[in-house]
Amino acid sequence: MSQDWKSDVTKFPRFEGVRTFMRLPYDPEPKGVDVVILGAPFDTTATFRTGARFGPEAVRRISSLLRPAHAYHAVRPTDVLKIVDGGDIPVIPGNTLRSYGYITDVIHSWVNEGAIPITLGGDHGIALAELRALAQVHGPLALIQFDAHLDTWDEYWEEKYTHGTPFRRALEEGLLDPLRSTQIGIRGTVYDPTDIEEGRSLGFEVLTAEKVREIGLEQTIRTAIERAGSAKTFVSFDVDFLDPAYAPGTGTPEIGGFTTFEAQQLLRKLYPLDFVGFDIVEVLPAFDPTETTALAGATVAFEFLSLVASGRKGA
């Protein structure tokens, strides 16, 4: 019997079975796995709405709707990859440093065994813990960040660890190579007219929402690919990259965002890169009454799976 027998909805109803991601096998042991789905239900560093701690649960629940094959990449990920759901990483609400330590340790245990993690957040602050784990194995990484916000602030309320600061901390710790990194979709109101230059001053390529629409999706993704080059690459997708019409369930929404179709088009063009990790963050079910945000998050995670499978299939 194949690994993905339970994901065949023509044989088993979608509402049946344990709520793993896409009803993949649950296996908490980091051995012999190509890709692992992990939940990081932590939102203590959110600066506005909280509740993203329930994001992994919501994404897993709606993921049972997804079918197992990707038409664009012409691949069924479970045919070429061993994929498991490793469950949720233990966290301590209110204790950021200890929770980050747990997230780093668990992800490192998988990465050290050769697995590529796809982490379901949780607020965007978890990215720092993820990058610590990945950089221990791979060294400084290229970052491709889909987001309405730079997340490179120095601090909020004299706190260094928030969901608005992870990539500045990552740079300070030598986890990222900014000259290989691209931030895509930045928009929204700012504290000062010069704020948009924050990422650029740190070395990132910053493509604002206006710039993406000016140069088009193809040139946008070409820029990110050329900049990353052969570097080990981490892709971080904050659902507020999407317009609130498509993803209302998030902590700090910004109008003027992208459609889910545009997001898919961008992600599908990333396949030449050397991926070592992904995340999808800031899904907030309490503001997602029709589960459209959770569905977007689950579909983005499946796009990630299919990118890895497509690369492995073509290797």
Q: What is the pLDDT of residues 31-58, one digit of tens each?
A: 999 999 999 999 999 999 999 999 999 9
Query: β-strands 232-238, 274-281: how paired?
Result: parallel
Query: Could you state, in order of their start, the residue ranges of all structural domains in the chain?
Result: 5-314
Residue 149 in marked binding region:
yes
Residues 177-202 have a mean pLDDT of 92
Q: 177 labelled as ligand-binding? A: no
Q: Which stretches does DSSP call E strand in 201-245?
A: 205-208, 232-238
Q: Which residue has the higher pLDDT, 158 or 276?
A: 276
**Weakest mean pLDDT among 155-169, 228-242, 300-314:** 155-169
Record the pTM.
0.94
Asked whether the beta carbons of 63 and 301 are under 8 A apart, the reply is yes
147 marked ligand binding residue: yes
Mean pLDDT of the chain, nearest integer: 93
**Residue 156: predicted pLDDT:** 79
| Tokens, residue 176 | 């990222």
User: What pLDDT, on the 0 to 100 scale, is given for residue 17?
Assistant: 66
Q: Which residue, among 219, 224, 248, 246, has the nearest Cα to 235 in the 3D structure?
A: 224
Q: Summarize the confidence of residues 241-255 as an average pLDDT.
A: 98
Residue 2 pLDDT > 60: no
The helix/strand/coil state of 259 is coil
Residue 279's DSSP bridge partners are 119, 236
**Does residue 233 sit in helix, strand or coil?**
strand
Give CATH for domain 5-314. Answer: 3.40.800.10
For residue 241, give the H/E element and its range.
Answer: none
* Calpha distance 72→79 (Å, rounded): 16
Nearest in space to 188 (alpha carbons), one of 131, 251, 129, 140? 251
66-90 pLDDT per residue, tens: 999 999 999 999 999 999 999 999 9
229: pLDDT strictly greater than 80: yes
When pLDDT is cut at 50, 70 and 90, the band that residue 14 belongs to is low
| 297 cis-preceded (ω within 30 degrees of 0) | no
Nearest to 59 by CA among 125, 99, 118, 127: 118
pLDDT of residue 315: 56
Helix 209-228, helix 260-268: angle, nearest 10: 20
Q: How far apart are CA 278 and CA 304, in angstroms?
A: 7
Query: What percent of the chain is predicted at pLDDT more than 70?
Result: 94
DSSP of 86-146: EEEPP--TT-HHHHHHHHHHHHHHHHTTTPEEEEEESSTTHHHHHHHHHHHHH-SBEEEEE
Cβ distance 187 to 241 under 8 Å?
Answer: no
18-29 average pLDDT score:
92
Residue 97 has pLDDT above 70, yes or no: yes
Residues near 158 by beta carbon (within 8 Å), at least 6 away in sequence = none
> Of 186, 168, 189, 163, nearest to 178 (Cα)?
168
Q: How far apart (Å, rounded) are the C-alpha atoms in residues 84 and 199?
A: 35
In the predicted structure, residue 1 carries a pLDDT above the cut 60: no
Quote the CA–CA distance of 238 and 259 in Å, as a whole number: 13
Position 23 scores a pLDDT of: 93
